[in-house]
Amino acid sequence: MKMVKIGNIELPEFPLLLAPMEDVSDPPFRRLCKTHGADMMYSEFISSEGLIRDAIKSRMKLDIFDYERPVGIQIFGGDEEAMEMSSKIVSTVKPDLVDINFGCPVKKVVCRGAGAGVLKDVDLMVRLTKAVIKGTDLPVTVKTRLGWDESSINIDEVAERLQDIGVQALTIHARTRAQMYKGHSDWSHIARVKNNPRITMPIFGNGDIDSPEKALQYKNEYGIDGIMIGRAAIGYPWIFNEIKHYFKTGEHLPAPTVIDRVEAARNHLKWSMEWKGERLGIVEMRRHYTNYFKGIHSFKEFKQKLVTTDEPENLFAIMKEIEQVYAGYEFV
């Protein structure tokens, strides 16, 4: 079997990565995805300026746990000095790698000359990356997009220049910044980067993978080294093991039952309360229930209870009731 290597990190052949997602990829969610087969994960993205200012929210995002390894911490920013200093800070908590976000399309990030905003200025992207590499002994990787818009796709130049300065893996979201998260991703650009004889670092693809069939099709069609999964894992951490099983056997694992879904939601809630504190853990979990119980008929009343109940024991009792009411429920 051919391992995929990032620095001294050894990943299995064709690894499945969990994408860094703001307000989603926190330790409780990562733990759940790890349990269900994710091979490598990343923190939510962290502002380099926030880290240096000692912003509490930024510092909390540095929390990593041994059971998650290998795990990367992702930073973003538009200032070289701040990026170097934040990579030094990140190194102190000993993740397995430091990842740079040059792909976030959100306006407030782009306006600060960070995230996908850097796609307009490849020289700046190179300088910022050099600053991060200078600040750490850990492997440095990058996540980016195809380019700013359809008329300025520059991922070929970006990949070569980043590899030349020491970047050890590249994840490409197969959309431009102008597309945001809409329209179709175009993986042919990723395949072209992967097939460039100059490129030796691992190339991971990201965008629209939401089923085992699609994962296998893209693996075969585009020749990438692995896939990063984002939105499809929200409320559905089973996708990692489902893809792995399908690769091995060509068959589907049985779909998660209501019991499986309740167990995942219960664990997610429990771990959120442990990490964030009871109150915040309960409140921030509310955004996830819709995803865990998607597709269950006549669920509105239970959902209402889940998002308005404040006591842990009552929430766990509601989940128990969901298990009983929907025992044997079959998803259509």
The Cα-based distances of 85 to 105, 131, 136, 308 in angstroms read 24, 8, 9, 42
Task: Say whether 184 counts as a known binding-site residue.
Answer: no
Task: Say whether 288 counts as a known binding-site residue.
Answer: no
Give Cα 277 to chain centroid, integer Å: 23
Q: Which amino acid is at 49?
A: E
Task: Say whether 74 counts as a known binding-site residue.
Answer: yes
Q: What share of the chain is helix, strand, coil (3-state, %, to 5)?
A: 50, 15, 40
207 CB burial (10 A radius; 0-12, 13-18, 19+):
buried
Six token digits for residue 248: 């091995």
**Nearest residue to 256 (alpha-carbon basis) of 267, 248, 244, 264:** 264
Dihedral angle of Cα 228, 230, 236, 241, to the nearest 10 degrees: 0
Task: Say whether 328 counts as a known binding-site residue.
Answer: no
> φ and ψ at 319, to 5 degrees?
-65, -40
Q: State the Cα angle at 185 between 182 and 189, rounded to 5°.
A: 145
199 CB burial (10 A radius; 0-12, 13-18, 19+):
middle
Q: Is 104 a catalytic residue?
A: yes
Six token digits for residue 50: 């926030």
Of the residues 6, 9, 104, 140, only one is catalytic, namely: 104
Task: Say whether 231 counts as a known binding-site residue.
Answer: yes
- HEC letters along 166-233: CCCCEEEECCCCCCCCCCCCCCHHHHHHHHCCCCCCCEEEECCCCCHHHHHHHHHHHCCCEEEECHHH
Six token digits for residue 172: 């490409």
**Can you say which residues are annotated as belonging to the binding site?**
74, 143, 173, 230-231
**Can you say which residues are annotated as belonging to the binding site for FMN?**
74, 143, 173, 230-231
Residues annotated catalytic, as ranges? 104
